[in-house]
């Protein structure tokens, strides 16, 4: 029963999907992070279904398709990770000391650089989606599980930048070794599925995900002295954008080889 409670906690925290309310106690929190990729699986399935209908059964333009696909994750998650992306963009743009950057992460106000960063993000996301074909959708749908697996791994593996906050709560409540093992299983299983679907697109996606993960670790340690919930959300958003670009590059490379 406590695993179902952990699932409910994870889904309620990281999405707008309705689930029963459960108590956030130590027992229920132990394995909550194990189910973080489930939200990604839901997003991927919905993206695949709606994207397939739009591309194969309608005459919609590429811009309409791109905007719909870019907004689906926002609708499902409620933008929780975009909030982290915006706060982190603000903090990094301050070029202040670690303490100053951490203060900006806690500031409820949205700065100019956060707004600019979000505009750039959605423009880039829509531009990339406008180039996605029906053949790429199965691999693209897998990337939401990959990004959440890596983000969850960072939560239970990286040093926390501060001794309070939501990330620290999940760290303290989690069975780290078991949670990390489950998340690695999610990662490997989804990576194998991507390779099975299209190894060229998978290579592009996995290489870019690995590069962003390394950047995230080095940046968080150097700029903030560790990771936070906002930084984990920032990574997730950047990782998905980079993976989408990697899939497109892998798809183009695969097409060129076939020609």
- Digit-by-digit pLDDT tens for the chain (259 residues) are 668 888 988 899 899 999 888 877 777 777 888 999 999 999 999 999 999 999 999 999 999 999 999 999 999 999 999 999 999 999 999 888 888 998 998 888 888 999 999 999 999 999 999 999 999 999 999 999 999 999 999 998 898 887 765 565 655 555 778 889 999 999 999 999 999 999 999 999 999 999 999 999 999 999 999 999 899 999 999 999 999 999 999 987 665 444 4
Which 8-state DSSP code applies to residue 34? G
SS (H, E, C) 131-200: CCCHHHHHHHHHHHHHHHHHHHHHHHHCCECCCCCHHHHHHHHCCHHHHHHHHHHHHHHHHHHHHHHCHH
pTM: 0.92
Reading phi first (left if > 0) and then psi (alpha if -120 to 50, else beta), residue 6 is in alpha
Contact 17, 46 (CB under 8 A): no
Torsion of CA 240, 243, 245, 251, to 10 degrees: -140
């Amino acid at each position: 029963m406590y695993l179902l409670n952990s699932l409910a906690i994870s889904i309620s925290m990281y999405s707008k999907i309705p689930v029963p309310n459960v108590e956030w106690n130590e027992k229920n929190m132990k394995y909550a992070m194990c189910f973080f990729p489930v939200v990604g699986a839901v997003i991927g399935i919905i993206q695949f279904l709606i994207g397939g209908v739009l591309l194969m059964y309608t005459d919609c333009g590429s811009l309409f398709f791109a905007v719909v696909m870019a907004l689906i994750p926002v609708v499902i998650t409620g933008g929780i990770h975009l909030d982290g992306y915006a706060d982190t963009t603000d903090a990094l743009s301050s070029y202040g000391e670690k303490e100053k950057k951490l203060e900006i992460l806690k500031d409820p106000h949205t700065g100019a650089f956060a707004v600019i960063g979000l505009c750039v993000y959605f423009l880039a996301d829509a531009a990339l989606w406008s180039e996605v074909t029906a053949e790429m959708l199965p691999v693209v749908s897998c990337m939401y599980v990959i990004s959440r697996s890596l983000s969850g791994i960072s939560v239970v593996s990286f040093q926390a930048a501060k001794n309070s906050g939501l990330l620290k709560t999940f760290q303290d409540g989690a069975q780290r070794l078991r949670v990390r093992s489950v998340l690695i299983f999610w990662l490997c299983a989804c990576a194998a599925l991507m390779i099975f679907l299209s190894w060229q697109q998978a290579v592009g996606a996995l290489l870019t995900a690995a590069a962003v993960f390394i950047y995230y670790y080095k940046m968080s340690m150097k700029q903030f002295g560790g990771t936070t919930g906002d930084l984990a959300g920032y990574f997730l958003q950047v990782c998905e954008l980079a993976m989408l670009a990697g899939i497109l590059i892998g798809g183009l490379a695969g097409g060129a080889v076939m020609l």
